Structure 1
Amino acid sequence: MPDTGPTPPPHPRIAAVRGDITAQQVDVVVNAANNAMRGGGGVDGAIHRAGGRAILTDCIARFPNGLATGDAGWTTAGDLPATWVVHTVGPNFAGGERDRSLLESCYRRSLEVADELGAHSIAFPLISAGIYGWPREDAISAAIDTIAGSPTHATDVRIVAFDEQAYTQVHDALTVRGLG
């Protein structure tokens, strides 16, 4: 039998979780950060508050010039129950950034960084669907389709929704795709 090269990683199990992303006991918590990488509101503010000063200190050291939209990088998780925070900067739909490929890149790059770290469990928020105003249904679609279509060594991927309505939408979208 011919050698076909290394076996590609399996696709992850994707689950909808209702709760607080800062309480997830996973290898990686993904932060929906802003370009400056100095903390902010929404998920970003919650992660920085719960994780403590160590996250901001690491952001300043690792990202002195910030991070580009669609890219991702990691820091310590500080006081969070996770090991690392992977920060990614989603497009600001409300501010006119409407290129869906940038949103998809956030998920893909976050998985790549998590793989580099050797992570097997990852908790994502719905990137750009909060204060950046990305339409929720499309944000959910971009998240699920990109995660499901990206090769990764992660076996446990969670999409964490803070409110019941978002959780139900994510759960239903996973079920329709045969992933839930």
Structure 2
Amino acid sequence: MKIGSTLIEAVRGNIVTMEFDAIVNAANSSLLGGGGVDGAIHRAAGPDLVHECRLLGGCKTGQAKTTKGYRLPAEHIIHTVGPVWRGGGNGEPELLASCYRQSLERAVEVGARTVGIPAISTGIFGYPLDRAAEVAVESIAGFLEERTDCFERIALVCFDDDAKSAFDTALEEY
């Protein structure tokens, strides 16, 4: 899908090995590493990432903060804290949408033209894949409709076929 000059696509792969100007980390509020994509990013980036993250003082749900990419192919890491799924009636869609908008704002601030974004909140935070994909695509598209030509490419990086299928469907239905 294209909005303005930006290609938005779902790709299957490992976000820590892919080349982007910036990648988004589905972090926990401490920003000090954890499981899933967060742990993989911290391991791949190396120990300097934890040191920089300590200086940031954590991050609130729906917000985003930026660090260097260290040993990753990406120059920047944008850490965002997604909501824990509690049934959808506790502001989860709004908080997840904020994660995507805030992450794109940080990407613009650092001059990133290509951005890789994982399926935020769909791992241990339990957000249903199909609902998360809809929020992601709507949030990204809404951002790009207001701010055209900020990016060349935004890739929704999916770790498995189920996630890729959910994000492909959301892109097709938008």
Deviation at 1:68, TM superposition (A): 0.7
**Cα separation, 2, equivalents of 1:69 and 1:170:** 22
Aligned residues: 167
Partner of residue 71 from structure 1, selected from 58, 63, 78: 63
Paired residues of 1:25 and 1:81 also in contact (CA < 8 A): yes
**Cα separation, 1, equivalents of 2:14 and 2:33:** 17
Residue 25 of structure 2 aligns with an amino acid whose one-letter code is N
TM-score (structure 2 length as normaliser): 0.90
Matches within 5 A, 1:1-180: 10=4, 12-61=6-55, 63-64=56-57, 66-94=58-86, 98-99=90-91, 100-151=93-144, 152=147, 153-177=150-174
Unaligned runs of 5+ in 1: 1-8
**Cα separation, 1, equivalents of 2:46 and 2:13:** 20
- In structure 2, the CA distance between the partners of 1:68 and 1:97, relative to structure 1 (3 Å rule), is farther
- In structure 2, the CA distance between the partners of 1:163 and 1:114, relative to structure 1 (3 Å rule), is same
Paired residues of 1:87 and 1:110 also in contact (CA < 8 A): yes
- In structure 2, the CA distance between the partners of 1:58 and 1:104, relative to structure 1 (3 Å rule), is same
TM-score (structure 1 length as normaliser): 0.87
Paired residues of 1:20 and 1:160 also in contact (CA < 8 A): yes
**Cα separation, 1, equivalents of 2:31 and 2:87:** 18
Residue 49 of structure 2 aligns with an amino acid whose one-letter code is I
Residue 125 of structure 1 aligns with an amino acid whose one-letter code is P
Deviation at 1:95, TM superposition (A): 9.5
Residue 116 of structure 2 aligns with an amino acid whose one-letter code is A
Query: Which SS does the other structure have where 1:114 is aligned?
Result: helix
Deviation at 1:96, TM superposition (A): 8.5
**Cα separation, 2, equivalents of 1:175 and 1:107:** 19
Deviation at 1:136, TM superposition (A): 0.9
Percentage of pairs with the same residue? 43
Residue 6 of structure 2 aligns with an amino acid whose one-letter code is P
**Cα separation, 2, equivalents of 1:162 and 1:116:** 27
Paired residues of 1:15 and 1:157 also in contact (CA < 8 A): yes
Query: Which SS does the other structure have where 1:119 is aligned?
Result: coil
Q: RMSD between aligned alpha carbons? A: 1.8
Residue 133 of structure 1 aligns with an amino acid whose one-letter code is G
- In structure 2, the CA distance between the partners of 1:49 and 1:94, relative to structure 1 (3 Å rule), is farther
Q: Which structure's CA Rg is the greater one? A: 1
**Cα separation, 1, equivalents of 2:87 and 2:162:** 25
Runs of 4+ with deviation above 2 angstroms: 9-12, 94-98
